Amino acid sequence: MIVMKFGGTSLGNAERIRQVAGLIERNSDSFVVCSAMSGITNTLVEIAGLWKSGKCEKADDLLDEIASHFEQTCYDLFRDTEALTNSTRVVIEIFDLIRNRISGDYNLHKENWLLAQGEIVTSKLIALYLNSADIPVTWLNALDFISTGIDGEPSVSDIRDRLNAILGENRHGRFLTQGYICLDHEGNISNLKRGGSDYTATLAGAALQAVSVEIWTDIDGVRNNDPRIVENTFPVRELSFDEAAELAYFGAKILHPSCVWPASSNNIPIHLRNTMEPDAPGTIIRSDIKRKGITAVAAKDGITVIRIRSDRMLNAYGFLNRIFAIFEKYRTPIDVITTSEVSVSVTIDNPCHIKEIESELGSLGSVKTETGQAIVCVVGDILEQHQDRAVRTLDSLRHFNVKMISFGGSRNNISVVVPREEMKDVLRSLNSYLFGNQSPKPDSWLISQA
Ligand code: ASP
Ligand code: MG
């Protein structure tokens, strides 16, 4: 069994859906995970915002827009009259239900229900299309097997038990389901956060012990640097799970950051592939990669640095614990952390509770917050063979205003924090220092660096 996940842009219109159907047809035993058609979840989020603030007329207009987008897709997709009638009926029924729901009062459970409809309609249309095109597929409701526990996290063994019960002994054939959506621990419809279809795919892959999880997007795998900022980037054909986890967080928007662990802990390769160029090599993420050396550079802005300074920290134990407890209380993840004897600096990318966090940290010491920062990270086997590589990498940044340096957490990563205005130049500078400024490297380059 192979898991194939298709993102919104791969399902952007009837033509793209036909293309995807051709890819699904190639594998007779597959578990297909679909996102919502592109732009739909964004619009549903907007509709929810309007509904919440009582702007129901505008919400209805947007709803009409996406309903007609789906209907138009049916007209463009289905040649067969019966399939066309069935598909437009699905769209009409679901949108009638949505209109009915949002005419009532707003609440968060209803919002989550609304957000799930993008994946539900899209997956139903694709299943109808595949079946009408003689590519038989069984539609599965992801809410029957993906759920999160009280900690908000899904469990592979629960998903495995439920999928075993649903699929029984029969593991042959094509199955198709929705990414992103799940039930929470109380049985309410919820989701795995934006971009969460990748996570559904690797969770299902781990539960089914799939041969591989293919994530189909519209770019040819991961690049060694951000091509929007840096010239002469080149594709990275292989990544270790650790490198992929670092890159997924630090701005390489190709993968949902949570989706690496189900694959890595079950040793299932993730293959990033391009629907526009299905035979291109893409990027494989797996454990047994041979390359050594620096793989890629990535960055993320919108970072806030919080510094806590207190003389009471000197020789005290439990101090970090108290600091972390405050971040835990406000469910705010810390990304980079550096410490001295009397101070701790951390970065966060979610400033929602910054005021409360600052005020509670104030009881532990003096607190200084700087917004508008960026994290730039260098990923690869940094220590391998070249012990001085880390030092030289940092030396190449001597003209920049480096605020924090994190190195030694793993051998795969050096992260620095710089003001966001310097981020692009830092990326360019690291690119020419680490990869040279010549023509793009051949695919074998990284391997031959070993
Ligand atoms: N449709 C959801 C989103 O746009 C989930 C996904 O595409 O992965 O975030
Ligand atoms: Mg995505």
Find the 388 Cα to ligand 1 centroid distance in Å. 41
The owner of tokens 């960055």 is: 299
In a shared domain, residues 330 and 281: no
Q: For ligand 1, atom 5, which residue shows the shortest CA distance? A: 195
Domain range for 310: 295-449
Contact (Cβ atoms closer than 8 angstroms) between residue 257 and residue 273: no
What is the arithmetic mean of pLDDT over 297-318? 88
Closest CA to 239 of 226, 248, 230, 231: 248
CA distances from 239 to 204, 247, 294, 296, 399 (A): 21, 10, 11, 10, 30
Q: Give burial (CB, 10 Å; 0-12/13-18/19+) of 17.
A: buried
- CA atoms of 144 and 162, how far apart (whole Å): 7
- CA atoms of 437 and 17, how far apart (whole Å): 39
Q: How confident is the model at residue 218 (pLDDT cuts 50, 70, 90)?
A: confident
In a shared domain, residues 134 and 241: yes
Residue 35 Cβ inside 6 Å of ligand 1? The answer reads: yes
Q: What is the pLDDT of residue 386?
A: 64
In a shared domain, residues 145 and 222: yes
- CA atoms of 255 and 275, how far apart (whole Å): 15
- Using the 8-state DSSP alphabet, how is residue 19 labeled? H
Atom of ligand 1 nearest to the CA of 256: 8
> What phi-psi label fits residue 232: left (phi over 0), alpha (psi between -120 and 50 degrees) or beta?
left
Domain stops at, among 235, 257, 289:
289
pLDDT digits (tens, 9 = 90+) for 17-32: 999 999 999 999 999 9
In a shared domain, residues 315 and 442: yes
β-strand pairing of 238-239 with 174-178: unpaired
pLDDT at residue 85 greater than cutoff 50 = yes
- Show the tokens assigned to 18: 């036909």
In a shared domain, residues 216 and 300: no
pLDDT at residue 427 greater than cutoff 60 = yes
- Using the 8-state DSSP alphabet, how is residue 290 labeled? -
CATH number of the domain within which 352 lies:
3.30.2130.10
What is the arithmetic mean of pLDDT over 144-149? 96
Q: What is the pLDDT of residue 311?
A: 83
Ligand nearest the Cα of residue 45 is: 1
In a shared domain, residues 71 and 131: yes
CATH number of the domain within which 212 lies:
3.40.1160.10
Least confident of 148-157, 363-372, 384-393: 384-393
Contact (Cβ atoms closer than 8 angstroms) between residue 313 and residue 450: no
Alpha helices, DSSP H, located in 233-310 = 241-249, 260-265
The owner of tokens 């463009």 is: 76
- CA atoms of 323 and 318, how far apart (whole Å): 9
Residue 197 Cβ inside 6 Å of ligand 1? The answer reads: yes
Q: Under DSSP, is residue 242 helix (H, G, I), strand (E, B) or coil?
A: helix
Q: What is the pLDDT of residue 252?
A: 52
Find the 139 Cα to ligand 1 centroid distance in Å. 19
Contact (Cβ atoms closer than 8 angstroms) between residue 364 and residue 308: yes
Residue 36 Cβ inside 6 Å of ligand 1? The answer reads: yes
Residue 118 Cβ inside 6 Å of ligand 1? The answer reads: yes
> What phi-psi label fits residue 180: left (phi over 0), alpha (psi between -120 and 50 degrees) or beta?
left
- CA atoms of 89 and 82, how far apart (whole Å): 11
pLDDT digits (tens, 9 = 90+) for 253-279: 678 888 999 999 999 999 999 999 999
In a shared domain, residues 270 and 302: no
Find the 343 Cα to ligand 2 centroid distance in Å. 38
pLDDT at residue 281 greater than cutoff 60 = yes
pLDDT at residue 414 greater than cutoff 50 = yes
> What phi-psi label fits residue 267: left (phi over 0), alpha (psi between -120 and 50 degrees) or beta?
left
Q: What is the pLDDT of residue 449?
A: 32
Q: How confident is the model at residue 141 (pLDDT cuts 50, 70, 90)?
A: very high
41, 44, 198, best to mutate for ligand 1 pocket (most atoms within 8 Å of CB): 41
Q: What is the pLDDT of residue 440?
A: 44
Q: What is the pLDDT of residue 155?
A: 96
What is the arithmetic mean of pLDDT over 173-191? 97
- CA atoms of 17 and 11, how far apart (whole Å): 5
Contact (Cβ atoms closer than 8 angstroms) between residue 299 and residue 226: yes
Residue 293 Cβ inside 6 Å of ligand 1? The answer reads: no
What is the arithmetic mean of pLDDT over 305-315? 87
In a shared domain, residues 282 and 302: no
Residue 196 Cβ inside 6 Å of ligand 1? The answer reads: yes
Domain stops at, among 289, 312, 341:
289
Q: What is the pLDDT of residue 160?
A: 96
Atom of ligand 1 nearest to the CA of 195: 8
Closest CA to 299 of 403, 374, 245: 374
Q: What is the pLDDT of residue 387?
A: 66
Find the 212 Cα to ligand 1 centroid distance in Å. 21
CA atoms in the 13 A half-sphere facing the CB of 38: 13
What is the arithmetic mean of pLDDT over 392-396? 84
Q: How far is CA 7 from the centre of its chain?
A: 11
Find the 7 Cα to ligand 2 centroid distance in Å. 6
Q: Please tell me the pTM assigned to this model.
A: 0.87
Contact (Cβ atoms closer than 8 angstroms) between residue 255 and residue 244: yes
Q: What is the pLDDT of residue 221?
A: 83
In a shared domain, residues 201 and 113: yes
Domain stops at, among 254, 289, 324:
289
Residue 180 Cβ inside 6 Å of ligand 1? The answer reads: yes
Find the 58 Cα to ligand 2 centroid distance in Å. 27
Contact (Cβ atoms closer than 8 angstroms) between residue 193 and residue 154: no
Q: For residues 435 and 265, which has the higher predicted lDDT (pLDDT)?
A: 265
What is the phi/psi pair of residue 338, to 5°?
-135, 150
Total count of domains within the chain: 2
- CA atoms of 224 and 295, how far apart (whole Å): 6
- CA atoms of 267 and 210, how far apart (whole Å): 10
Residue 145 Cβ inside 6 Å of ligand 1? The answer reads: no
In a shared domain, residues 258 and 333: no
In a shared domain, residues 398 and 281: no
- Average of per-residue pLDDT values in the chain: 90
Task: Strand 212-217: give its sheet, edge to edge.
Answer: 138-139, 174-178, 30-34, 2-6, 212-217, 270-274, 283-285, 238-239
In a shared domain, residues 283 and 300: no
Residue type, 185: H
pLDDT at residue 438 greater than cutoff 50 = no
- CA atoms of 193 and 189, how far apart (whole Å): 12
Q: What is the pLDDT of residue 439?
A: 42
